[in-house]
Structure 1
Amino acid sequence: MPLVTSIIQKIAPQIGAIVVVDPEYAFVGHITFKNGNKACFSNSKLNINGFGSAEIAKDKAYSNFFLKHFGYKVTEGKTFFSNKLCAKLSSERNIDAGFKFAKEELGFPVIVKPINLSQGKFVAKVYNKTEYYQVAKKILRITPGFIVERFYLGNDYRIVVIDDEVSAVYQRIPLCVLGDGKSTILELLQRKEQCCIANGRKKIIDFNDFRIKRKLQRQKLKFDSVIPENKTVYLLDNANLSSGGDGVDVTENIHPDFKKLAINVTKDMGLRLAGLDIIADDITMPMNNYVIIEVNGSPSLTHYAAIGEAQVKRVEDLYFKILKALENEQICI
């Protein structure tokens, strides 16, 4: 059963709410609160955020525009589109214009990512023309637009906010393996996947991911390479936990500057629940250098909860607050 569903079913009786879940997959459900209010959920999506705000947060280009308008530091980049959409929009921002922007205005390496997909799908760091066109064409096969943005050095963090409170903060580390001097990269990766599954995370490592193979090639490695003991090899550039990345909890250590930033961003974007993804040197220190990657209006915390019991408790506390908020408002469904 999905984590969110199981948590909602666990918490609902505490506030006298009744939950009905679809019997086949348990991905969607309906909640009736004691006071008669009703709400629905679908996987990690609950109607805690207004529709318009949630849609803007979902679109990386629109959310970046508004974040920049409000004075926040956001990634520098532009959107580009399929030929079909360019014709419809009377725009010249096609795949070739994207390459020119990457080469002449940003400089390689750059990040290329879909405009409206989640969980780090097809997000890639590209170093040259060949890689750029490979990634951009793959993206355009499944979605009509993509973003080319500057690559930023730093640590990747997610800050989860509900109303005026920061509920969880964690550093996201890209998919990697630690060598033991005798196992191949493939063997280490298979063990890592089994460990993820044992900890309650679903099968998330795609062994055929073109990005993994390219990352290995750049390091002059293959799946059958044996890694020296205690040497870390990174297999992806994006740090999404849903792609096999690891999470390090820093909730207790986040600096007040970053707390304030996350709460203000959530409010300015018209959201009540948000996951703010940022690049920063050190989130435990006073805020100096940072850049916002994106704002997620329905942050999934399944992989975060797999870190340990303390994280499960934080996720349960978060959903308790969400249910109380839904109970106390008249939600249109």
Structure 2
Amino acid sequence: MRTTLASPPLAVALYQEAADRLGFTTRILDPEFGFLWELEDGRGVRRTICGAKVPINDASAAQISGDKHYGGIVLERAGFRVPSTARCLSPAKFGHGEYASRCGPAPALEFARERGFPLVVKPNRLSHGRGVRRVVDEASMVAAIDDVFAADDIALVQTFATGREFRLDLLDGEFLVGYEREALVARGDGVRTIAELLAACDPRYGDPVESAVRLAEVERSTLLAERAGGSLATVLAAGTDLDFSGGVMNLNRCATARVIDDLPPAWSDWCRRVAETMHLRHIGIDLRVASLDADPSEAVILETNSAPLVNQIAHMGHRERAIESLMRVLRALTEPSPLPPLGLG
């Protein structure tokens, strides 16, 4: 049951629907924006929550996971593969102290001379793919680092991991939901426009509401300007493909996905070890590997997430799967954990 008519953000609305099915009560505490809300399970358990950051994980573990560089250090120390990384500090924040020598693009330039291109530039703390770019030379790398500094005090420059890209979400060591990210590609047939081709390969691009956000991202791409005159109404010739992903896969940017129903046992065990290493009950693991038929030890972990979202999965026609996963999270939040503390059992 809900006690407000406020229209919250999708992440909160999905949790509200999950709570409704469990017979829980939710209240929006900030009706102006809808991010702050309260959950009550009817048995005296009441939690105040901001957005989708359900307080099921240890706060320190969540903080380390949210720092991509520190998270990588923890995972590598435990024997997992992660990208090699150079860390560049913002001159505006660190330029006048003991870390001044690590400011600006100098660490990245040295790293690039050792590792070569392509590389990936990303903010240390931002999420949803914001500021992540694949770069192919020093000029594009320095520009990408400067862009990161507009939003984050630390820019990471990493080796580019090859293979297919997956997101795997777990709760208390059990698989919740997962998907393989795929490039958003408009494949010309000489009949349909780019907008129509994109809607055919991903339902979000044909949704009356969501399409405005998704297509705006495509319209900002240089590829559309270079190959289609900047217009989504362009009819692509048969045999012409436009890959809008730019080598960076994120469902909040120009990528799509295929939902995974289950994990092979070896991968389930591997994911549990990642969760134990990060001390996270609820975790999203972003990784690249040749396939899920490969040995999990071959995977490169790009980052982990302590509050994984299922918004885009719901938009892509898998709302029921998304709601079911959130119901499991809310049950776990309001009941004692069936497992010993991660890493200590």
- Taking structure 2 as the reference length, the TM-score comes to 0.83
What SS does the corresponding residue of 1:44 show, helix, strand or coil?
Answer: coil
Q: Deviations over 1:288-320 (max 9, x none)?
A: 521000001111111112232xx3222222211
> 1:80 maps to what in 2?
88
For the structure 1 residues 80 and 40, does the alpha-carbon distance in structure 2 shift closer, same or farther, using more than 3 Å as the test?
same
> 2:170 maps to what in 1?
161
Q: How does 1:279-298 map to 2 (within 5 A)?
A: 279-287=288-296, 289-298=298-307
Q: Give 1:61 shift.
A: 0.5
In 2, Cα distance between the equivalents of 1:66 and 1:32? 35
Q: Give 1:111 shift.
A: 0.4
Q: Give 1:208 shift.
A: 6.8
> 1:239 maps to what in 2?
249
> 2:115 maps to what in 1?
106
Q: Give 1:6 shift.
A: 2.9
Structure 1: runs of 5+ lacking an equivalent:
none
Q: Which of 73, 97, 102 is the matching residue for 1:93?
A: 102
In 2, Cα distance between the equivalents of 1:322 and 1:103? 42
Q: Contact (CA 8 Å) 1:159, 1:276: kept in 2 or not?
A: yes
Matched, 1:5 2:12: yes
Q: Deviations over 1:186-225 (max 9, x none)?
A: 77569889843618746433747898216975xx665357
Equivalent pairs: percent with the same residue? 23
> 1:70 maps to what in 2?
78
For the structure 1 residues 188 and 7, does the alpha-carbon distance in structure 2 shift closer, same or farther, using more than 3 Å as the test?
closer
In 2, Cα distance between the equivalents of 1:279 and 1:66? 18
> 1:258 maps to what in 2?
267
For the structure 1 residues 145 and 214, does the alpha-carbon distance in structure 2 shift closer, same or farther, using more than 3 Å as the test?
farther
Q: Deviations over 1:264-287 (max 9, x none)?
A: 111211111111000011114443
For the structure 1 residues 272 and 302, does the alpha-carbon distance in structure 2 shift closer, same or farther, using more than 3 Å as the test?
same
For the structure 1 residues 40 and 239, does the alpha-carbon distance in structure 2 shift closer, same or farther, using more than 3 Å as the test?
same
Count residues in correspondence.
325
The one-letter code sitting in structure 2 at the alignment partner of 1:300 is L
Q: Which shifted more, 263-272 or 21-30?
A: 21-30
Q: Which of 136, 143, 147 is the matching residue for 2:145?
A: 136
Q: Which of 304, 328, 332 is the matching residue for 2:335?
A: 328
In 1, Cα distance between the equivalents of 2:228 and 2:194? 9
Q: Give 1:44 shift.
A: 1.9
Q: Contact (CA 8 Å) 1:197, 1:203: kept in 2 or not?
A: no
Q: Contact (CA 8 Å) 1:201, 1:302: kept in 2 or not?
A: no
Higher relative contact order (CA 8 A, sep 6+): 1
In 2, Cα distance between the equivalents of 1:2 and 1:192? 25
Matched, 1:227 2:236: yes
> 1:312 maps to what in 2?
319
Q: Contact (CA 8 Å) 1:179, 1:231: kept in 2 or not?
A: yes
The one-letter code sitting in structure 1 at the alignment partner of 2:36 is V
For the structure 1 residues 222 and 79, does the alpha-carbon distance in structure 2 shift closer, same or farther, using more than 3 Å as the test?
farther
Q: Contact (CA 8 Å) 2:122, 2:132: kept in 1 or not?
A: yes
Q: Which of 37, 47, 55 is the matching residue for 1:47?
A: 55
What SS does the corresponding residue of 2:221 show, helix, strand or coil?
Answer: helix
Q: Contact (CA 8 Å) 1:178, 1:232: kept in 2 or not?
A: yes
> 1:205 maps to what in 2?
214
> 1:60 maps to what in 2?
68
Matched, 1:125 2:140: no
Q: Which shifted more, 94-103 or 223-232?
A: 223-232
In 2, Cα distance between the equivalents of 1:24 and 1:149? 39
